[in-house]
Structure 1
Amino acid sequence: MDALQSNRREFLKIFGTAAVIGGLAPEAFARSKSTTLTILHTNDVHSRLDPFPMDGSRNAGRGGIVRRATLIEQIRNEQPNVLLFDAGDLFQGTPYFNLYKGEPEVQAMNRMRYDASTIGNHDFDGGMDNMVLQFGKAAFPFLIANYDFKNTAMNGRTEPYRIFKKDGLKIGVFGLGIRPEGLIPKELFKETVYVEPLETANAVAAVLRNDKKCDYVICLSHLGYQYNDSTVSDRVLASKTRNIDLIIGGHTHTFLDAPVNVLNQDGLPVLINQVGFAGIYLGRIDLTFEQGKVKVAADSKAVEVKS
């Protein structure tokens, strides 16, 4: 009898534990292990599909979508979890846009399998109807939380945020655009309503962190890196908000060799990165998630796109 009771206790110990483990959600396993995530990004590509010409200028021979696509695919082959984003101003800057109004740019991003983009001021340059036409060809969402398109042709064609799942991680991503007044002609942005970005960012980031239980929150921003006045920039955004982990920036064509840290309202670090313009660089940030903590790889940096 003692032997039977002993065996029964061992049986319950083993299979009772298995039952408890079996009842855990998959996310519980994901958060208990070490998971890596590589974030790639561009900004202000401005219709630069070809490399810069070999004319002896500073950027001669740099950039080009074929080289960028090759680099992205190489990283995807090396890393298990990759997300690819753009921070706006896909359009305007070369004859490709003058001739084709943005279609080659969007199709190239489709081929490279971008996960999302936000909207820059120059993306309005072909007019609202052209945005509808070209964005409609995208295989990825355009994320913008502070433009209200309700009374325009763009109504319902963007999302404020999207959540991406990678190996058990939930990555919340939202977009912010720059104030159009004084920057974009009224006839191009029409009845688009600009919503104050700091209030919007705090509200959306809180939803992603607290309601949606995201492990990491990213803002795709076309606000600009930094200004000498009170204009809201990425640095201001980081310091005046909560719940944002990373700001991928655009608009000011700022070259950052590596991400910078700015403390938020809770005294926690927010990463900011921006990689110039024209697709000369591909931003790369490598993260490791382990037991509720996130570590940024020391070698996270801008990768030059060249032959």
Structure 2
Amino acid sequence: MGNRRDFLKTVSLGTAIGTLGLSSCITNNRITKITILHTNDVHSHIDPFPANHRKFPNQGGFARRAALVKQIRKEEEHVLLLDAGDIFQGTPYFNFYKGELEIKLMGDMGYDAATIGNHEFDNGEHELCKQISKADFPFIITNYGLDGNKLKTLTHPYKIIQKGNIRIGIIGLGIKLEGLVSPNNYKNITYNNPIIEGEKAASFLKEKENCDYIIALSHLGYDLKEGMIRDIDVAKNTTNIDLILGGHSHIFLDTPTAIKNKADKRVYIGQTGWGGVKLGRIDIVFNGDKKETELALQAHL
């Protein structure tokens, strides 16, 4: 994450507000600013990377990220903290604690929601259920059929979070586990097409639950090989998803990728690498009609 903020390009949906003009006092009767913080593929990196690490010396770590999130919450009124999966696997902490430490620290940090990555199944469904049952934040998975599986009672197909006057619907899109996970580790789980299921859930949230904005937490991957359903495919082939926060492909996107959806509206895709090295940030401004007018800033912190 580094010791200073690396503010990157401003991405405007209308007239640019710009970084300096976007103050924490922007929420009033007309305008609401939502600050979205996001992680993905942390892979059990509790501590910072070692000082002699080739790419990320002394970077990352839960303690540093927690301090940064705490500071941002002091500065901003409406903050969401989200994770796009692969919380588990990658250091001896996972081998010893089986994911319990990661779940506890995320709860202490105040995560609002997470989705499930393929590495969450590394110790099998029973162990995943055991760890998720200890979480005080929701795990969201929309496109897995879970009939006959205990995960059905421990996860949510969607979640609605109110921030100020804005209703935000959150869905979770999981990758096809076949070929990535031992079949014995995901019995009674059916992979359903994330484009179809994602659009179905997003439409329900907007049309029936009156949500103003839909975020998809995705572990599909950004631009994997053809033949696999990717974040880019979801963005192009849906109409009601507004923002995709992705994982799995470990890509550091300096600014969100803009993709035109089926309704010729821009959908943004964000992803923030791996290992907890950086904390993604996207600020969105809504006008008095609860329509987003600016995606004013992405920062990798």
TM-score, length of structure 2 as denominator length: 0.89
Q: Is the 8 A contact 1:120 1:177 kept in 2?
A: yes
Match of 1:295 in 2: 293
Cα distance per residue 1:11-46 (max 9 Å; x no partner): xxxxxxxxxxxxxxxxxxx99511111000000000
By relative contact order (CA 8 Å, sep 6+), the higher-ranking structure is: 2
Amino acid at match of 1:33: R
Could you tell me which runs of 5 or more consecutive residues in structure 2 were left unpaired when the two chains were aligned: 1-26
Amino acid at match of 1:247: I
Over 3 Å counting, the alpha-carbon distance change for 1:169 and 1:67 in structure 2 is same
Q: How big is the shift at 1:260?
A: 1.2
Match of 1:155 in 2: 152
Could you tell me which runs of 5 or more consecutive residues in structure 1 were left unpaired when the two chains were aligned: 1-29
Q: Which residue of 158, 171, 174 maps to 1:174?
A: 171
Cα distance per residue 1:188-243 (max 9 Å; x no partner): 01121111111101100100111111111000000000123131100110000111
Cα distance per residue 1:37-67 (max 9 Å; x no partner): 1000000000000000011511110000000
Secondary structure, in 3 states, of the residue corresponding to 1:229?
coil
Match of 1:164 in 2: 161
Q: How big is the shift at 1:297?
A: 4.3
Cα distance per residue 1:98-143 (max 9 Å; x no partner): 0010001000000100000000000001111111111011010000
The alignment covers a number of residue pairs equal to 274
Q: How big is the shift at 1:152?
A: 2.1
Match of 2:17 in 1: none
Match of 1:26 in 2: none
Q: Which residue of 72, 75, 78 maps to 1:78?
A: 75
TM-score, length of structure 1 as denominator length: 0.87
2:106 matched to 1:109? yes
Q: How big is the shift at 1:286?
A: 0.4
Cα distance in 1 between the residues matched to 2:284 and 2:79: 10
Amino acid at match of 2:229: V
Kindly report the root-mean-square deviation, in angstroms, between the aligned alpha carbons of the 2 structures. Answer: 1.3
Structure with the bigger percentage of helix? 1
Q: How big is the shift at 1:173?
A: 0.3
Cα distance in 2 between the residues matched to 1:130 and 1:101: 8
Q: Is the 8 A contact 1:32 1:290 kept in 2?
A: no
Matches within 5 A, 1:105-254: 105-254=102-251
Larger Rg: 1
2:275 matched to 1:274? no
Q: Is the 8 A contact 1:202 1:243 kept in 2?
A: yes
Identity %: 46
Q: Is the 8 A contact 1:150 1:156 kept in 2?
A: no
Match of 2:281 in 1: 284
